[in-house]
């Protein structure tokens, strides 16, 4: 059930260049949130930020919801300046998250860049359910790596400065024959998701993708986050952000 309420920032810190980790208290949202869902937020006090901004739920701890985000524009820059104790206006939890099923023997997670944000919540949920999982995380170089406490993860960097040299999808593909009855979950930039979807299709592996998009309203009303599906156009905020990879038309140059 979607909620709209005022919440208080309980912690807010810079964890990497232009990347922040915020927590806010909302017992009701925390109890309802599922991996892959997101929240829409803005400061409660009147100011220049008229529209809420969407953020993936990074994890839930007790009554606190954590979001991890990169400063990319005026809105996220303003939000990054909000100190602990600030009241914010939050809408959530929103969207459809990952579907977790025990019919799979292994759960394989692929995160690219800031696509790491929702995957940590998913990894924690899989661990709590005592399901076997594998975690692949990739970015351009060692300097761009974000804190990722998941044990046993495979790291890939485009330039080889840390871990596997090449794309995270290459690291995944090099190990694909070792997985037993797997399902793949992925979040990251469009080219990475397209490559992941293609690999999974060729190897007959079920795959769920979390799409990234700018969401003005967060509830499907503005149609600002529409992408082309195989059968029809779909809204990332309402019908997603998580989709079965077979539902998306990957031939479009970019869906976001």
pLDDT tens digits along 14-63: 999 999 999 999 999 999 999 999 999 998 887 777 788 999 999 999 99
CATH superfamily to which 3-94 belongs = Translation factors (2.40.30.10)
Q: Where in the chain is the domain with CATH 2.40.30.10?
A: 3-94
Which residues have a Cβ under 8 Å from the Cβ of 218 and sit 6 or more positions away? 38, 40, 52, 54, 91, 94, 237
**Which residues are 11's β-sheet partners?**
23
Cα 56-162-114 angle, rounded to 5 deg: 10
| Whether pLDDT at 174 is above 70 | yes
pLDDT at 223 over 90: no
Q: Residues 140, 157: contact at Cβ < 8 Å? A: yes
DSSP, res 130 = T
Radius of gyration of the chain (CA): 18
Fold of 106-247: Rossmann fold (3.40.50)
Per-residue pLDDT of 105-161, as tens digits, reads: 999 999 999 999 999 999 999 999 999 999 999 999 999 999 888 888 999 999 999
Q: What is the pLDDT of residue 22?
A: 98
pLDDT recorded at residue 255: 52
| Per-residue pLDDT at 117 | 96
Q: What are phi and psi of 67, to 5 degrees?
A: -125, 140
Distance CA 42, CA 196 (A): 33
- To 10 degrees, the CA torsion angle through 50, 51, 56, 57? 60
**91, containing H or E segment:** strand 87-94
pLDDT digits (tens, 9 = 90+) for 53-99: 999 999 999 999 999 999 999 999 999 999 999 999 999 999 999 99
Residues 75 and 41: their CA atoms lie apart, in Å, by 10
Comparison of pLDDT for 153 and 256, the residue scoring more: 153
pLDDT at residue 220 in the model: 74
* Sequence ranges of the chain with CATH classification 3.40.50.80: 106-247
Q: Return the percentage of the chain with pLDDT > 70, whole number.
A: 98
What contacts 24, CB < 8 A, 6 or more positions away? 7, 8, 9, 10, 41, 64, 65, 88, 90
Residue 59 is predicted with a pLDDT of 96
Closest CA to 45 of 4, 84, 82: 82
């Amino acid at each position: 059930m979607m909620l709209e309420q005022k919440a208080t920032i309980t912690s807010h810190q810079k964890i990497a260049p232009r990347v922040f980790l915020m927590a806010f208290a909302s017992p009701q949202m925390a109890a309802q949130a599922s991996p892959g869902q997101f929240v829409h937020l803005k400061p409660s006090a009147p100011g220049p930020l008229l529209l809420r901004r969407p953020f993936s739920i990074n994890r839930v701890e007790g009554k606190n919801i954590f979001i991890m985000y990169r400063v990319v524009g005026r809105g996220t820059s303003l939000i990054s300046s909000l100190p602990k104790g600030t009241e914010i206006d939050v809408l959530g939890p929103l969207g459809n998250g990952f579907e977790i099923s025990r019919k799979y023997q292994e759960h394989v997670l692929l995160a690219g860049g800031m696509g790491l944000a929702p995957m940590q919540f998913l990894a924690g949920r899989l661990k709590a359910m005592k399901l076997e999982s594998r975690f692949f995380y990739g970015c351009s170089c060692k300097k761009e790596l974000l804190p990722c406490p998941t044990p046993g993860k495979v790291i890939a960097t485009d330039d080889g400065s840390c871990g596997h040299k090449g794309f995270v999808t290459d690291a995944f593909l090099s190990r694909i024959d070792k997985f037993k009855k797997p399902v793949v979950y992925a979040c990251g930039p469009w080219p990475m998701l397209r490559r992941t979807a293609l690999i999974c299709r060729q190897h007959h592996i079920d795959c769920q993708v979390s799409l990234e998009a700018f969401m003005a309203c967060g509830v499907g009303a503005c149609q600002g986050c529409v992408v082309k599906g195989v059968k029809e156009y779909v809204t990332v905020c309402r019908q997603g952000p998580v989709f079965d990879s077979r539902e998306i038309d990957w031939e479009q140059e970019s869906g976001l």
